[in-house]
């Protein structure tokens, strides 16, 4: 199976990756002939970044779920792998999703570049290149050369570009290059208005394209997609912070100008996506990184994740690369039908609505059922008593109690954060009755059709369960049955009762 | 046929001939009535209603109670004599129908094609 390596750089990288994980969990698959395994690598020096931690935890739960159910369709129907699963014994990698940046923890930038060992001329050059002030993790103003890098590059791409250049010598890159196949693809997620992403994107892409020939030959001509996330949120004004909204646009312009020469200008990327939002909503807390950096999920991150799905749908023919250069580079942007501060499914363009509404609604209705009805139905309803049974013991299993519930709680939190953000994405009323949970969707009611409630849902679950038996469809374990049964039934319910298009 | 069924009723101390020598109602008619009402009750519960709102043991108890009452009433209509012995026979017939409901609902094969009540018996869920 082909693989898509996703290099998620910085805080935005982690958050877009989180949105992608939610989409994959909901069963969204690219409309393409090939299916992909996803291999995410998060590149962020800020190890205490809460967005990074939330994403790695989410990915880890996703992996545990897929390991149990072994799906290739529906909920959790796409495999997500860690790099260590691809590596042989000579490469020692930790089994997580993060790229291990060397010499960053508890290290000042001047120590990283060996400033004290430089001669006077080079010291002077370093001082010119890295002049200015920033803050350390205690919030104190420091010279740029004295910046402590374990809270990230604090909006300084000039530092990030030097540190992230170590990517080419890393074990992770060696594993990637030695396992990269002609069918595989790479996608890079980065923001353009901060420090880590803006710096990491061009240098990482350059390292991929300049990979040595040999086993790495495929890498040099790899089909590379990328999304450059431009300013999309507002932050609090804080005179003591080095992060200022007023700098976002100038940093974006500077980076775009650099990309014009070094990325887009020389056809490095096969398919490049741009996304931004000029809506000025309620500001995020101004946190350069020293408080853990936890931003609420935002619709732009979800739309950015759709770029990855879109990239997987592009035919190989349109992503041809010769001698490290894209033959027909593609550039794309994203838009919605209605410029509103509260986005619902109907405010999206037709295709986006079609792609998003069914999978997200499926997972949302599954979560709602678990919250409100599962305990009353287990060992009571026919579907739960069919082999393999979904019983109280199943509800106590690590699969259900830890992996699935934790994942679905994160999904609910993610939806909640997007709905609370500004601009908000709020397609569900999760606290409402079942038949009113999707905003803008009214239930088809007729003389012989009753309202949609959990009796309707259970009736459909029972019928679906009977159908599996009559068709001879079996499941290896209760977890697999549970996930597939709810995937198929919620899809049927949403299409037949709510009129959602497949 | 009467000769086969008569001993069953006799086991419970019932002799139609003693109760109403002039009655034409035979043991066969009473037992067939009981059987038909019970089987119909079973089919109605498991295959006609077959409803997710009516799939608990308590619901089956209710259905069975209705079946038993119906059997008693129909049995009385067949005998139609205000006599304690007749009442006893009718109640006994109702009890038989209840027992039959328990037996029928305990056979998984008979419930197998029900969608919502496939696992409903007198004891669970």
Residue A382 with chain B: CB contacts under 8 Å: 55, 114-119
Model confidence at B8, in pLDDT bands (50, 70, 90)?
Answer: confident
Whole-number Å distance between alpha carbons of A147 and A109: 6
Residues whose CB is less than 8 angstroms from the CB of residue A66 and which lie 6 or more positions away in sequence, other chains included: A76, A79, A80
Say if residues A7 and A189 touch (Cβ distance below 8 Å): yes
Residue of B51, B53, B115 lying closest to A463 (CB–CB)? B115
Interchain pair A382, B53: CB under 8 A: no
Mean pLDDT lowest among A141-150, A222-231, A235-244: A235-244
Interchain pair A380, B52: CB under 8 A: no
Phi, psi of A369 (to 5 degrees): -60, -45
Interchain pair A455, B53: CB under 8 A: yes
Residue of B52, B56, B125 lying closest to A462 (CB–CB)? B52
Query: Residue B87 above 80 pLDDT?
Result: yes
Mean pLDDT calculated for residue range A289-302: 82
B residues 39..68 contacting A (CB < 8 A): 51-53, 55-56
Model confidence at B20, in pLDDT bands (50, 70, 90)?
Answer: low
Model confidence at A72, in pLDDT bands (50, 70, 90)?
Answer: confident
pLDDT digits (tens, 9 = 90+) for B39-67: 999 999 999 999 999 999 999 999 999 99
Mean pLDDT calculated for residue range A308-330: 95
Query: Residue A444 above 80 pLDDT?
Result: no
pLDDT of residue A212: 72
Residue of A379, A386, A459 lying closest to B116 (CB–CB)? A459
Query: Residue A89 above 60 pLDDT?
Result: no
Mean pLDDT calculated for residue range B71-97: 92
- B51 to chain A: nearest residue by CA? A459
Interchain pair A459, B119: CB under 8 A: no
Model ipTM value? 0.90
Query: What mean pLDDT is reported for chain B?
Result: 91
Phi, psi of B95 (to 5 degrees): -65, -40
Query: What mean pLDDT is reported for chain A?
Result: 89
Burial of A453: CB neighbours in 10 Å, binned 0-12, 13-18, 19+: middle
Query: Residue A409 above 60 pLDDT?
Result: yes
pLDDT of residue B10: 81
pLDDT of residue A101: 74
Cα-trace Rg, chain A = 24
Whole-number Å distance between alpha carbons of A217 and A211: 7
B34 to chain A, closest Cα gap in Å: 29
Burial of B3: CB neighbours in 10 Å, binned 0-12, 13-18, 19+: exposed
Mean pLDDT lowest among A167-181, A357-371, B85-99, B107-121: A167-181
What are the distances in angstroms from CA A146 to CA A10, A111, A183, A275? 21, 8, 44, 33
Whole-number Å distance between alpha carbons of A275 and A294: 21
Interchain pair B116, A382: CB under 8 A: yes
Interchain pair B118, A381: CB under 8 A: no
Q: State both tokens at B14.
A: 């019932």
Residue A458 with chain B: CB contacts under 8 Å: 52, 116
What are the distances in angstroms from CA B99 to CA A181, A206, A436, B10, B122? 70, 81, 45, 17, 11
Residue A455 with chain B: CB contacts under 8 Å: 52-53
pLDDT digits (tens, 9 = 90+) for A325-349: 999 999 999 999 999 999 999 999 9
Whole-number Å distance between alpha carbons of A193 and A214: 36
**Most B CBs within 10 Å: which of A382, A387, A434, as the mutation test of the B interface?**
A382
């Amino acid at each position: 199976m082909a693989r898509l390596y996703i290099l998620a750089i910085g805080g935005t990288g982690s958050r877009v990756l989180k949105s992608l994980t939610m989409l994959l969990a909901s069963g969204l698959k690219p409309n393409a002939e090939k299916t992909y395994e996803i291999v995410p690598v998060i590149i962020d020096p800020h190890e205490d970044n809460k967005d990074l931690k939330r994403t790695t935890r989410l990915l880890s739960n996703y992996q545990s779920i897929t390991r149990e159910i072994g799906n290739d369709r529906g909920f959790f129907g796409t495999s997500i792998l860690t790099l260590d699963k691809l590596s042989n014994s000579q490469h020692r990698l930790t089994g997580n999703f993060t790229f291990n940046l060397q010499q960053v923890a508890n290290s000042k930038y001047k120590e990283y570049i060996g400033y004290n060992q430089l001669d006077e001329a080079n010291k002077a050059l370093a001082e010119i290149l890295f002049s200015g002030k920033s803050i350390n993790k205690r919030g104190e103003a420091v010279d740029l050369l004295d910046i402590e890098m374990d809270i990230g590059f604090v909006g300084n791409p000039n530092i990030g570009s030097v540190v992230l250049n170590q990517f080419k010598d890393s074990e992770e890159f060696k594993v990637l290059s030695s396992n990269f196949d002609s069918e595989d693809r790479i996608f890079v997620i980065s923001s353009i208005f901060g420090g880590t992403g803006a710096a990491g994107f061009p240098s990482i892409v350059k390292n991929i394209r300049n990979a040595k020939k040999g086993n790495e030959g495929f890498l040099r001509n790899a089909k590379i997609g990328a999304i450059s996330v431009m300013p999309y949120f507002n932050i609090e004004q804080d005179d003591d912070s080095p992060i200022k909204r007023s700098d976002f646009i100038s940093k974006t312009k500077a980076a775009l100008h650099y990309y014009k020469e070094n990325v887009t200008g020389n056809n490095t990327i096969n398919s490049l996506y741009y996304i931004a939002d000029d809506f000025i909503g309620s500001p995020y807390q101004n946190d350069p990184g020293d408080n853990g950096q936890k931003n609420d999920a935002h619709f732009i991150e979800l739309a950015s994740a759709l770029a990855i799905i879109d990239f997987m749908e592009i035919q190989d023919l349109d992503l041809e690369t010769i001698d490290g250069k894209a033959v027909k580079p593609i550039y794309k942007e994203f838009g919605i039908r209605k410029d509103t501060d509260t986005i619902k499914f109907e405010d999206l363009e037709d295709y986006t609505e079609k792609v998003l509404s069914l999978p997200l609604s499926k997972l949302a209705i599954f979560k709602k059922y678990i919250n409100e009805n599962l305990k009353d139905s287990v060992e009571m309803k026919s579907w739960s008593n069919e082999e393999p049974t979904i019983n109280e013991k199943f509800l106590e299993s690590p699969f259900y109690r830890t992996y699935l519930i934790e994942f679905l709680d994160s999904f609910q939190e993610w939806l909640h954060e997007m709905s609370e953000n500004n601009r908000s994405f709020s397609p569900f009323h999760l606290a409402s009755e079942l038949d009113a949970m999707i905003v803008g969707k009214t239930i088809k009611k007729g003389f012989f059709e009753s309202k949609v409630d959990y009796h309707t849902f259970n009736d459909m679950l029972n019928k679906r369960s009977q159908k599996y038996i009559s068709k001879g469809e079996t499941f290896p374990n209760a977890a697999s049955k549970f996930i597939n049964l709810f995937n198929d039934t919620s899809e049927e319910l949403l299409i037949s009762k709510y009129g959602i298009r497949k | 046929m009467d000769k086969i069924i008569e001993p069953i009723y006799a086991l419970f101390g019932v002799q139609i001939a003693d109760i109403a020598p002039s009655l034409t109602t035979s043991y066969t008619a009473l037992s067939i009535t009981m059987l038909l009402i019970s089987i119909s009750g079973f089919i109605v519960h498991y295959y006609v209603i077959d409803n997710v709102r009516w799939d608990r043991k308590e619901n089956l108890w209710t259905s069975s109670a209705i079946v038993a009452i119906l059997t008693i009433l129909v049995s009385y209509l067949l005998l139609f004599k205000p006599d304690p012995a007749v009442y006893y026979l009718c109640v006994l017939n109702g009890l038989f129908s209840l027992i039959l409901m328990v037996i029928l609902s305990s056979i998984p094969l008979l419930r197998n094609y029900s969608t919502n009540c496939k696992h409903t018996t007198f004891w669970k869920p």
